[in-house]
Amino acid sequence: MSALVRLAVFAVFLNFAASEGCTKPEITSVSYTTQDATIVTNIAFVSEFTFRCSGLPSDVPLYAEVGGSVFPAVHIGREKYQVSWTEEVGKARSGDYKVNVYDEEGYGNLRKAIRGNYEHTSPVEPLSTVIVNHPATYQGPWVNSEFMAAVLAALVWYLAFTAKSKLLL
């Protein structure tokens, strides 16, 4: 082998050895969910998180997986990312949602696992997990005010009619 080929092979080997990936991920997050569903058809979920990891640059592309759906994490600032998605009001459940965060390598492995329907591959380990808590969604009062007004009007009419009938007898 020539010296140039040896140098190129050594450089590739050194590059693979140096890129260990994420060794100690640290994520701090803040989340928001729509809590009033009286006039909307979808519940919005937003998670903003700060991602720090030794072994990866601060602006690495990240991806999030929630309930089998994969979303890109938008880079919104230094070490800050945001993930958002929506669900129909009837399908959105209250409680904790696990948001698994992946780097590009993990995202590629996750896509392979999804294409293979998880049959021949083990579940892909995320870099970290963010929890988004969604309290119960307010969908309005149990009884509409229009219905209560109609019932009250019928009651007042009945009382007035019976009082008039007693006076005429």
pLDDT in tens, 94-108: 899 999 999 888 899
* pLDDT at residue 133, as a whole number: 92
In the chain, which ranges are continuous DSSP H helix? 3-18, 104-115, 145-168
Q: How far apart are CA 85 and CA 95, in angstroms?
A: 16
Mean residue pLDDT across the chain? 81
Query: Dihedral of the CA atoms 104, 106, 111, 113 (nearest 10)?
Result: 170
92: which DSSP letter? P
Mean pLDDT of 16-36: 74
pLDDT digits (tens, 9 = 90+) for 114-134: 787 665 445 788 888 999 999
User: Of 116, 103, 42, nearest to 73 (Cα)?
Assistant: 103
Q: Give φ, ψ of 159 to 5 degrees.
A: -65, -40
Task: Say what the pLDDT of residue 79 is.
Answer: 86
What span, in angstroms and rounded, lies between the C-alpha atoms of 34 and 139?
11
Tokens describing residue 53:
């990891």
Query: What SS3 state is found at 166?
Result: helix
Per the CB < 8 A criterion, the answer to whether 132 and 92 are in contact is no
